[in-house]
Chain A
Amino acid sequence: MVRVILDVKPRKNPFLPVEAECLVPKNFVDEREPRDLSVWVGNKERRLEEVVTLTREGTATSPEDVELVLRGDTSRFKRVGEYMEAGRITIEGDIGMHCGNLMKGGMIVIHGNADSWLAREMVGGTVRCNGDAHHYCASGYRGEKRGMRGGEVEVMGNAGDFTAEYLTGGSVTIHGNSGDLTGVEMAGGTLIVHGDCSRVCANMTGGTGYVYGMVHHMIPTFRFRETAIIGPEKVKMSVFEGDIANRGKGTLFIKVYKYPL
């Protein structure tokens, strides 16, 4: 096992985005490799060591054995864990946009908050955010027809608008509240919101959604099917199918809902 600690150096302009898709475990298996890694700070390409201090503890023979630990202000570090296939990334603070983009395997744990597009178009692996996730968590990219296709995303806090937009496979669990149009255009997979959200699963064509809190502005084109008792806690939920406006065949379990009358 190797633990690579990346301590962010103070920056003259801490708001400039740092595009750091090189921060994936496979790039840190070999001790010598990080020397060739670079990040983009605004329009300047910089060597990774100009931005972070690297400390290695142990050795590794494959990406599965690598854990990256990001320490310091990483709130503007974008694309960390993009296309990641194995290993683990631990982010001690907040993380910037697109963390875990198109991730295929391994695990990312964020102790702070995650900015928008967390786990965008994820294919496999696990992302856990202990804080809040901003808009478009586990969603698709502009104009794409599919969003997250596999893996698991769990947000312990709240999530923003368009969470799980275009969800096609895998599971997304939000323990707090989720924003407007959560699960919009959902085509597959499972979405679980433990708190409140609004206009959930609008235009969905497939998949299953559960909302254990309140759904505000319930989309009026879901057809009520039955009442069901769900889970070990035996929660009484209304079961809908839809979105009928979109010839949808999704299933939606909702505890409490309110139409926009």
Chain B
Amino acid sequence: MLHEDVVCPFCACLCDDLKVETDNGTIVKVDNACDLGNHKFLTDDDHRLKEPIRRTPSGWTSATLQHAIDRTVEILLGADRPLLYGWSGTHGEAQSIGVHMAEVLGGVIDSTTSVCHGPSILAIQEVGHPGCTLGQVKNRADLVVYWGANPIEAHPRHMSRYTTYTDGFFLDRAFKERKVIVVDIRRTQTAEVADEFILIKKGGDYAVLSALRAIVRGKSDMIPATVAGVTKEQLLRIAEMCKKAKFGAFFFGMGITQTQGKYKNIRNAIELVDELNRHTKFTLTPMRGHYNVYGFNEVCTWMTGYPYAVDFCRGMAFYNPGETSAVDILARKECDACLVVASDPAAHFPKDAVRHLGEIPTVQIDPYPNTTTAFCELQIPVAVTGIDAQGTSYRMDGVPIRVKSILNRGYPTDTDILGEIYRRIKEAKRV
């Protein structure tokens, strides 16, 4: 059977033009996806965990779904400060149950945002977000800047769907007219297609952004001959290119959000875009990673007023990344139970944080065994959103897209499992 307009649930480009062919419950062909998307669809069934598993002194053993849910409820209700972490690899409906659950439990809820574009959000909270949709970029941008981002490898269709290689309604010869500036600490594949590549010294983003802001303001006298490895001539040239553009689009990745200075780098980038808007039209968009990491921020903000790292221990929402974010809580041993949903913290968190994950009762709800499995007491497999579960996702520019289910592999969805756990918790707490 051929499924058209399928949405790829891998990266936050959320490409919605895939054609997927299924035969007898198996995916046999995928069209239009990049290598990452193809791999996700075509090898999905090879890696699934078939049934709930629990750790025993003699190793892993299978568990019934009933037992797995009972034990999860018991762990969460028994905790003085449970942490509910992950959420970026599932749909909005499941995320919203997670937020409700954190509130009723008096726990802390955080998503992978805190280790990817959390700093972008902190910066946006300080100085706002001059953003736009990717459709605007596609149709209008004649200058695209990728800063600390390598879309050719991380978001492979970004350039062909929204920037360099696509037509634009307001551009005559988009491919020729669009200029690309790439800023990075190494010559990436994306740098190879840039009209101007700025090779910056590690940790030098902030200084270069400050220098560009001053130049755009017409104050360049105090700028030294080189700033973080970039010559003053190149900085002047870049500033001129940006000012002359009719519509500039600035995309930034984790190469700038997770380097020293973190959110202050992004704030500086936003303020550069703000300065450029005195000369022309310029916008800024984070290159979000997980396909629905933005969704968690949306859901969490509607429900709590804060986008991630929300602490409900005192019954009301308190937000302070650095204190209420998952890495900090785990590394400081400040939680006594953890529920991991749709992410793999053990593969990405620092050693101290991961060690604590193994010291407290940890349950994972995820379709696949992963590094975090090794630190869990229990894992419950679920359907994969975009393959055998449907729901709402948010693209990197904040556009909501309905992700489809294309077959049924017999797994419960995140919404089913979390809904049941939440029901049981409410029952026990009489709310």
Chain A residues contacting B80 (CB-CB under 8 Å) are 13, 16, 41-44
In contact, A180 and B260 (Cβ under 8 angstroms) = yes
In contact, A260 and B207 (Cβ under 8 angstroms) = yes
In contact, A245 and B81 (Cβ under 8 angstroms) = no
A208 contacts chain B at the CB level, 8 A cutoff: no
A252 → chain B closest CB, angstroms = 12
Chain A residues contacting B312 (CB-CB under 8 Å) are 43
Interface of B is mostly: loop
| Cα distance, A199 to B333, chains bound together (Å) | 31
In contact, A15 and B214 (Cβ under 8 angstroms) = no
Q: Which of A174-202 contact B (CB under 8 A)?
A: 180-181, 184, 199, 202
A93 contacts chain B at the CB level, 8 A cutoff: no
B22 contacts chain A at the CB level, 8 A cutoff: no
Pick the residue among B213, B271, B313, B332 that contacts A15 (CB under 8 A). Answer: B332
> Which of A60-68, A104-112, A217-225, A229-237 faces chain B?
A217-225
> Which of A28-36, A134-142, A151-159 faces chain B?
A134-142
| Cα distance, A203 to B320, chains bound together (Å) | 22
In contact, A116 and B323 (Cβ under 8 angstroms) = yes
B59 contacts chain A at the CB level, 8 A cutoff: no
In contact, B210 and A245 (Cβ under 8 angstroms) = yes
B87 → chain A closest CB, angstroms = 20
| Cα distance, A223 to B271, chains bound together (Å) | 19
A243 contacts chain B at the CB level, 8 A cutoff: yes
Tally of chain A residues near chain B (CB < 8 A): 41
Chain B residues contacting A141 (CB-CB under 8 Å) are 320
Chain B residues contacting A224 (CB-CB under 8 Å) are 222
A102 → chain B closest CB, angstroms = 14
Pick the residue among A142, A202, A220 that contacts B223 (CB under 8 A). Answer: A220
**Given A43-B313, A43-B314, A217-B207, A246-B271 contact (CB < 8 Å):** yes
Chain A residues contacting B173 (CB-CB under 8 Å) are none
B33 → chain A closest CB, angstroms = 38
> Which of B143-151, B224-232, B403-411 faces chain A?
B224-232
A4 → chain B closest CB, angstroms = 24
In contact, B333 and A15 (Cβ under 8 angstroms) = yes
A239 contacts chain B at the CB level, 8 A cutoff: no
B371 → chain A closest CB, angstroms = 24
B197 contacts chain A at the CB level, 8 A cutoff: no
In contact, A260 and B227 (Cβ under 8 angstroms) = yes
Pick the residue among B126, B222, B226, B229 that contacts A221 (CB under 8 A). Answer: B222
In contact, B222 and A202 (Cβ under 8 angstroms) = no
B255 contacts chain A at the CB level, 8 A cutoff: no
Q: Which of B4-59 contact A (CB under 8 A)?
A: none
- Please name the residue on chain A nearest to B314 by beta carbon: A40
> Chain A 13-27 against B: per-residue CB contact (8 Å), 1 yes, 0 no?
101110100000000
Q: Which of B304-333 contact A (CB under 8 A)?
A: 312-314, 319-323, 332-333
A97 → chain B closest CB, angstroms = 6
Chain B residues contacting A1 (CB-CB under 8 Å) are none
In contact, A223 and B222 (Cβ under 8 angstroms) = yes
A256 contacts chain B at the CB level, 8 A cutoff: no
B201 contacts chain A at the CB level, 8 A cutoff: yes
- Please name the residue on chain B nearest to A165 by beta carbon: B264
Q: Name which of A181, A217, A259, A260 has the most chain B CB atoms within 10 A of its CB.
A: A260
A244 contacts chain B at the CB level, 8 A cutoff: yes
A142 → chain B closest CB, angstroms = 6
- Please name the residue on chain A nearest to B80 by beta carbon: A42
**Given A43-B314, A220-B222, A16-B227 contact (CB < 8 Å):** no
B338 → chain A closest CB, angstroms = 14
| Cα distance, A17 to B228, chains bound together (Å) | 41
**Given A142-B122, A202-B206, A220-B224, A244-B260 contact (CB < 8 Å):** no
A98 → chain B closest CB, angstroms = 8
Chain B residues contacting A15 (CB-CB under 8 Å) are 332-334
Chain B residues contacting A42 (CB-CB under 8 Å) are 79-81, 106, 313, 336
The 9 nearest A-B residue pairs measured at CB: A43-B106, A42-B80, A143-B125, A42-B81, A15-B333, A245-B213, A245-B210, A223-B222, A43-B313
Can you list 20 A-B pairs, Cβ within 8 angstroms, ordered by A?
A13-B80, A16-B81, A17-B81, A19-B313, A43-B314, A135-B322, A143-B126, A181-B261, A181-B264, A184-B264, A202-B264, A217-B203, A220-B211, A221-B214, A244-B217, A245-B210, A259-B207, A259-B227, A260-B201, A261-B224
Residues of A that sit less than 8 Å from B by CB: 13, 15-17, 19, 40-44, 76, 97, 116-117, 135-136, 141-143, 145, 180-181, 184, 199, 202-203, 217, 219-224, 243-247, 259-261
Extra 4 A-B pairs, beta carbons < 8 Å, given A15-B334, A203-B210, A245-B268: A15-B333, A117-B323, A221-B219, A261-B227
